[in-house]
A and B are shown apart, each in its own frame.
Chain A
Amino acid sequence: MKGTAGSDQAPSSTVEAVDPAAPSSPGLSTQQEVSAEIEAIAGGYSAGSTRQPRLDYPPYRSSVLRHPTRDLEPTDPEGVELWAPVFGERDVDPSEADLTLGHEGEPIGERMVVTGRVLDGDGRPVRRQLVEIWQANAAGRYRHRLDQHPAPLDPAFTGTGRCLTDDDGGYRFTTIRPGPYPWRNHANAWRPAHIHFSVFGTELTQRLVTQMYFPGDPLIPLDPISQSVLEPEALARLVATYDHDLTQPEWATGYRWDIVLDGTHRTPLESDREG
């Protein structure tokens, strides 16, 4: 086999060729070992202690040297931290919300709509704000020089999109359902299918980058990145809902996923309170 597994390694590292038929990959843990680590950490979790991912999460091997070891310093936001950058129509073209456009021909895969609302921690819509997404194609391949998964690139699909939320905090993308893909966290490691989301609120403190998963994906329980969110309800909120009312006849399936940002600190302006 000439193929190499998809890599989550640093760009400077060498990705060794992997024979998928080989019983094990030297130096890498097995799924069984990683699953046991995931289970042990989940077992020690006390409900309600955090809804965010644990930064120190050894089952995700790349986190070991990249998480702060000291407690985050509780700080009152000041100055610019109480505001978010503003994006507008000059920043984002409406066509950027349709990832199936812009190429010759149609991308391969399950055409889907993903839509939802961006809300702040008090349930207010986040209006006219930037949402950015990126994802693998239907075969589980990213258009990125470091993705060496031996699955085809799709000449009709780049996998990036942007939009501004509407006055109700709503966003909507048309895309192709991404495939799962292998990575080198451990032997035979596969990421569940996901779409990366980057979202701004009305304050810097609400800045969020996360991943949306798909309902019923059997890879989620095996995946150390999603499992780093220890609170089961919080993990469940990362999973979109299939919505048949969004599904368009003979065109696209529909998924709904709402995003809730942290609460704000600044006293809301009149313009924030409308509606």
Chain B
Amino acid sequence: MSATPATAGQTVGPFFHLALPYAGDRHLVPEGTPGALTLRGTVYDGAGDPVPDALLELWQADAQGDVVQRPGSLRRDGSTFTGFGRAATGADGHYSFTTLEPAAPFFAVTVFARGLLDRLFTRAYLPGATDDLLARLDPDRRATLRAEPDETGLVFDVHLQGERETVFLTFSRQGGPR
């Protein structure tokens, strides 16, 4: 099968708030749901400053480890767990999701921002999770993919650049650096 060249990505720019965030976007389950946790963190740039115009998308398995294939993420009914959410960062670069712990090693996280010319993929691993990717990374790099437990759930900071730069992934079938 001959591959058709893919359409190039472009930055979300500064005005994505107009379209992408929506009511209930960051609440994969209603707050107060038994077993709910907060996955939160801050997005930082290469100077260590918070990024106030980033958007994170969360995509995860459910509490049984199943990949949910049900609609309703944009207009949540309060009972269907769809596994998808969005959270724009605030003026302090902070984001948060209310969700359930997946019965899977990681949350898939996609990062968008003004100044970022294409989306970035990463993973927020649950404490204690192990797999091939974690195993082959140096400890310093591995640490950037670990969500750390706190009193309300998990903390996962994203460093777009810098000493603690997050490990970002490419799934390209062609492979190699971009």
Q: Judging by beta carbons under 8 Å apart, are A225 and B52 in contact?
A: no
Is A238 an interface residue when CB atoms closer than 8 A count as contact? yes
Tell which of B7, B165, B177 touches A238, judged by Cβ atoms closer than 8 Å: B7
Q: In the complex, which residues of chain A have a beta carbon less than 8 angstroms from the beta carbon of B72?
A: 88, 90-91
Is A25 an interface residue when CB atoms closer than 8 A count as contact? no
If the complex has contacts A72-B169, A79-B67, A91-B73, are A132 and B83 also in contact, measured as CB distance less than 8 A? no
Distance from A70 Cβ to chain B, minimum over Cβ atoms (Å): 6
Q: Judging by beta carbons under 8 Å apart, are B15 and A142 in contact?
A: yes
Q: In the complex, which residues of chain B have a beta carbon less than 8 angstroms from the beta carbon of A210?
A: 7-10
Assembly CA distance A261 to B17 (angstroms): 24
Is A45 an interface residue when CB atoms closer than 8 A count as contact? no
Residues from 194 to 209 in A contacting B, C-beta threshold 8 Å: 196, 198, 204-205, 207-209
Q: Judging by beta carbons under 8 Å apart, are B176 and A87 in contact?
A: no
Is B64 an interface residue when CB atoms closer than 8 A count as contact? no
Main secondary structure of the interface of B (DSSP, over half): loop
Count contacts on A: residues with CB < 8 A to the other chain: 88
If the complex has contacts A12-B91, A75-B170, are A65 and B45 also in contact, measured as CB distance less than 8 A? yes
Q: Judging by beta carbons under 8 Å apart, are A66 and B172 in contact?
A: no
Distance from B148 Cβ to chain A, minimum over Cβ atoms (Å): 20
Query: Interface size class for chain B?
Result: 35 or more
* Listed stretches A33-41, A102-110, A228-236, A245-253; interface member: A228-236
Q: Judging by beta carbons under 8 Å apart, are B108 and A75 in contact?
A: no
Q: Judging by beta carbons under 8 Å apart, are B115 and A90 in contact?
A: no
Q: Judging by beta carbons under 8 Å apart, are B59 and A263 in contact?
A: no
Is A262 an interface residue when CB atoms closer than 8 A count as contact? yes
Is A62 an interface residue when CB atoms closer than 8 A count as contact? yes
Tell which of B3, B19, B172 touches A122, judged by Cβ atoms closer than 8 Å: B3
Is B87 an interface residue when CB atoms closer than 8 A count as contact? no
Is B79 an interface residue when CB atoms closer than 8 A count as contact? no
Distance from B143 Cβ to chain A, minimum over Cβ atoms (Å): 14
Q: Judging by beta carbons under 8 Å apart, are B15 and A260 in contact?
A: no
Residues from 93 to 143 in A contacting B, C-beta threshold 8 Å: 119, 121-123, 130, 132-134, 142-143
If the complex has contacts A79-B67, A209-B9, are A8 and B14 also in contact, measured as CB distance less than 8 A? yes
Q: In the complex, which residues of chain A have a beta carbon less than 8 angstroms from the beta carbon of B176?
A: 74
Is B47 an interface residue when CB atoms closer than 8 A count as contact? yes
Distance from A201 Cβ to chain B, minimum over Cβ atoms (Å): 10
Number of A-B contacts (CB under 8 A): 260
Tell which of B9, B83, B110, B161 touches A67, judged by Cβ atoms closer than 8 Å: B161
Q: Judging by beta carbons under 8 Å apart, are B18 and A144 in contact?
A: yes
Distance from B159 Cβ to chain A, minimum over Cβ atoms (Å): 9
Q: Judging by beta carbons under 8 Å apart, are B115 and A86 in contact?
A: no
Is A256 an interface residue when CB atoms closer than 8 A count as contact? no
Q: Judging by beta carbons under 8 Å apart, are A146 and B119 in contact?
A: no
Q: Judging by beta carbons under 8 Å apart, are A196 and B8 in contact?
A: no
Q: Judging by beta carbons under 8 Å apart, are A51 and B8 in contact?
A: yes
Q: In the complex, which residues of chain A have a beta carbon less than 8 angstroms from the beta carbon of B52?
A: 10-12
Assembly CA distance A225 to B14 (angstroms): 13
1/0 per residue, CB under 8 A from B, across A48-78: the answer is: 0011111101001011111111111111111
4 closest A-B pairs by CB: A88-B71, A62-B115, A134-B19, A85-B84
- Of the A-B pairs whose beta carbons lie under 8 Å apart in the complex, a sample of 14, sorted by A's number, is A53-B10, A62-B114, A63-B115, A64-B46, A66-B114, A66-B161, A68-B165, A73-B167, A90-B72, A132-B20, A134-B15, A208-B7, A234-B5, A261-B6
Residues of A at the B interface (CB closer than 8 Å) are 7-12, 50-55, 57, 60, 62-92, 119, 121-123, 130, 132-134, 142-144, 146-147, 158-162, 196, 198, 204-205, 207-211, 225-226, 228-229, 231, 233-235, 237-238, 259-263, 265
Residues of B at the A interface (CB closer than 8 Å) are 1, 3-20, 45-47, 49, 51-53, 57, 59-61, 67-75, 77, 82-84, 91, 102, 104-106, 108, 110, 112-121, 131, 133, 137, 160-161, 165-173, 175-178
